[in-house]
Amino acid sequence: MTPYPFSAVVGLDDLRLALLLTAVSPHVGGVLVRGEKGTAKSTVVRALAGLLPDVAVVRGCRFACDPAAPDPDCPDGPHAPDSPAVRRPSALVELPVGATEDRVVGTLDIQRALADGVKAYEPGLLAAAHRGVLYVDEVNLLPDHLVDLLLDAAAMGRAHVERDGVSVKHAARFLLVGTMNPEEGEPRPQLVDRFGLVVTVAAPRQAKDRAEVVRRRLAYEADPSAFAARFANDEGELAQRIVTARRVLPRVALPDRMLDRIARVCLAYGVDGLRADIVVARCAVALAAWSGRETVTGQDVRDAARLALPHRRRKDPLDPPGTDEQKLEDALAEAEAGDDPDDDPPGGGGPDSGPDGAGPDGAGSDRAGADGSGSDGSSHPSDISDFSERSDGGKSPQRSMAPGTASGRSDLRDKSEMSGEAERSASGATGDGDTATNGDGAERRDGGDPRAGAPAVAAGQAYRTRTLSIARRGEGGHSGRRSPAFSRRGRVVGSRVPHGKLTGAPHLPATLRAALHRGTPRGGSVVEPRDLRESVHVGREANLVLFVVDASGSMAARKRMTIVKTAVLSLLRDAYQRRDRVGMITFRGHDAEQVLPPTSSHEVGVLRLAALRTGGRTPLAAGLRTAAATIATERRRDPRRRPLLVIVTDGRATSGPDPVQVAPALAGVSTVVVDCESGPIRLGLAGRLATALDADLMPLDQLEVRRAA
């Protein structure tokens, strides 16, 4: 099917520019695209492949070797200098979420290696993506070790397969593009830092832009070929501009004063390591080449910083996602203030620039956004909006979502106002008809909204918690760092006969024992395929950690809720580090509420915890029933992910049936009861609940791992 044209995309200007810069200079390090569902992330990435120039490859080479410079380590080589060549389009390889390590890097036929002594290698997706684009959708859902493989290959330009003494390596240079939905959880900051550029996209906020998106999509679906033909000239111009920029790139000079400015920006912004400095420098060089200039200007540094720095600032991993726009602007202003008077002004104006900081093509560069339309409507040297025509013959309205543009500030301001309204509604609520509390923890009774409660209290500083885990070994459905499970990695604990073709690592001692036990016929092979045994590994898996938190009025007494929130926040941080999914249920008044459906977005959990209020009676049984229903739903959705239930309560139930009667609904679920009871007189009801649930009992004051004095 004809792909959607790159130049037909409405808006998403930062994303389009970032992809084009990566196409010009793959050393920029790839692009990570963050955005809500339905924002055309995948459409834009797939359209990029159509702009890349065709590549010449050695005929019959499965690794797309360049005839002019074949890979000396190519498993299909060595290739003769005069090997026949063919030209083909640049590859676009998509990595599915369920891909295994063997599928990514390739596989070795261990059976043939042991039985026949033949090193047979089947290339994986990294080989298929060589000299093309590797697109990873939902990169935040990939196991960490697969993301590490991808990023290492993208950084080194080579893929390595090391298994049981057999080593294979081949070239793997590709444009790495990942997309993700922040609602499904944030990847580790260490992994995000490995991407060169990170762009956040959002749906258009103007009705006319949204209508234009729908208009073009319907026209494309009605006749893809005719729609693509309408933008053929624009596509050709963009493709030619990529080729031209690649030729200019080696000649682009990065003046020392611009390099010093990059270093000052990174220091002022508070980034770790030197990767940020390198990426900003490479991106600035690519921007200059894209504009047809041979010298990097101050505006190139500004634009590169906006694409390469926002995701690298030191912050708490559980901070709500979002770009600290003002922090970056302050860092840029501070860096520019340190320039010598003879340096270029912030708007550019390098030696190759035209009047008013314009490049050789006459495009202005005064505080422009990445879409070629700055906050003041000026043009930008990296203008790509010229190639985006409306179906009615007019120009498509471009609206940049870059952190430094007006629309970006408006977007952040709108979110901030929405957040403020939510906080005001939370803090302004009254007590319910049962028992509630005022600010100092004293109980009161009124006839207010039964869903309301005391104002939300803040949690304290998170601490390191004791490791809560499921004692039984799982089947290793999801890689992580919490509970023991059989897996493809980890400690070898035994061997087994493989089911069908050997897919894991062979267990050599068990294989040799099987061969010796069978005996070796005269003239036969020492090891036959039927002798093969594969290793059984035990590693760690990620779980669903479901919190059931008591939010009744008694929890506010003696500032107990602050302590409880701090404990839950600490457990959320622990779940983030161990790659778990999390969910949260609270109970107070007469029923329970699922305030956080199971998700990988731990940041959302922190926000919901911060807004949690107290008040009313204690319907503990309702909380347990809601937990049982949630776990049953998640088991149907993902049977391989095991749940770990964490109940935070003092065990006192003042509303509804006896919680012990609900215990059978949670039979077989690994549970930890965190006992919040305090004071000189204790009833021990949390212990009674733990006994009924066959759960571990953890006093709240023992949850923290304290350092030895």
| CATH number of residue 639's parent domain | 3.40.50.410
Note the pLDDT of residue 163: 64
Q: pLDDT band at 642, cuts 50/70/90?
A: very high
Q: Is the pLDDT of residue 323 over 60?
A: no
Work out the percent of the chain whose per-residue pLDDT is above 70. Answer: 76
Note the pLDDT of residue 416: 37
Q: pLDDT band at 109, cuts 50/70/90?
A: low
Residue 518 located in a structural domain: yes
Tell me if 653 sits within 8 A of 661, measured CB to CB: no
> Quick one: 501 and 585 in the same domain?
no
d(CA 136, CA 35): 14
Note the pLDDT of residue 529: 75
- Quote the mean pLDDT of the chain: 77
Residue 685 located in a structural domain: yes
Q: Return the higher-pLDDT residue of 558 and 85.
A: 85
Note the pLDDT of residue 455: 67
Tell me if 690 sits within 8 A of 697, measured CB to CB: yes
> Quick one: 514 and 549 in the same domain?
no
Residue 62 located in a structural domain: no
d(CA 457, CA 610): 7
Note the pLDDT of residue 454: 60
Q: Return the higher-pLDDT residue of 165 and 312.
A: 312
Torsion of CA 325, 330, 333, 338, to 10 degrees: -140
Highest-pLDDT range among 60-74, 149-163, 212-226, 265-279: 212-226
Amino acid letter at 702? Q
Q: pLDDT band at 285, cuts 50/70/90?
A: very high
Residue 224 burial (CB count, 10 A): 15
d(CA 597, CA 274): 39
Tell me if 190 sits within 8 A of 145, measured CB to CB: no
> Quick one: 524 and 619 in the same domain?
no
> Which residue among 540, 562, 583 closes a domain?
540
Q: pLDDT band at 412, cuts 50/70/90?
A: very low
pTM of the entire predicted model: 0.64
Paired sense of beta strands 591-599 and 581-588, if any: antiparallel
Kindly state the average pLDDT of the residues 128-140. Answer: 86
Residue 269 located in a structural domain: no
d(CA 170, CA 615): 63
Q: Is the pLDDT of residue 254 over 80?
A: yes
Note the pLDDT of residue 35: 83
Its domain, for residue 520, covers 488-540
Q: Is the pLDDT of residue 694 over 90?
A: yes
Residue 73 located in a structural domain: no
| DSSP state letters, 300-321 | HHHHHHHHHSGGGB---TTSPP
Q: Return the higher-pLDDT residue of 144 and 383.
A: 144
> Quick one: 606 and 529 in the same domain?
no
> Quick one: 609 and 460 in the same domain?
yes
> Quick one: 691 and 595 in the same domain?
yes
Note the pLDDT of residue 422: 38
Kindly state the average pLDDT of the residues 365-378. Answer: 37
> Quick one: 681 and 595 in the same domain?
yes
> Quick one: 573 and 679 in the same domain?
yes
Residue 124 burial (CB count, 10 A): 24
d(CA 582, CA 643): 10
Nearest to 189 by CA among 285, 300, 291, 310: 310
> Which residue among 540, 575, 602 closes a domain?
540
Catalytic member of 275, 451, 464, 688: 275
Nearest to 646 by CA among 406, 468, 432, 436: 468
> Quick one: 580 and 563 in the same domain?
yes
Cα separation values, 499 from 530, 639, 651, Å: 11, 22, 48
Residue 617 located in a structural domain: yes
Q: Residue 537: enclosing H or E segment and its boundaries?
A: strand 534-541
Is residue 313 flagged as an active site residue?
Answer: no
> Which residue among 517, 540, 563 closes a domain?
540
Q: Is the pLDDT of residue 396 over 50?
A: no
pLDDT tens digits, 593-620: 999 899 887 778 888 888 888 888 889 9
> Quick one: 560 and 606 in the same domain?
yes
Q: Residue 24: enclosing H or E segment and its boundaries?
A: helix 13-24
> Quick one: 532 and 553 in the same domain?
no
50 CB-near residues (< 8 Å, 6+ apart): 3, 5, 6, 235, 239
Could you identify the residue written with the tokens 């991407």?
195
> Quick one: 536 and 550 in the same domain?
no
Residue 614 located in a structural domain: yes
How many folded domains does the chain comprise?
2
Residue 384 located in a structural domain: no
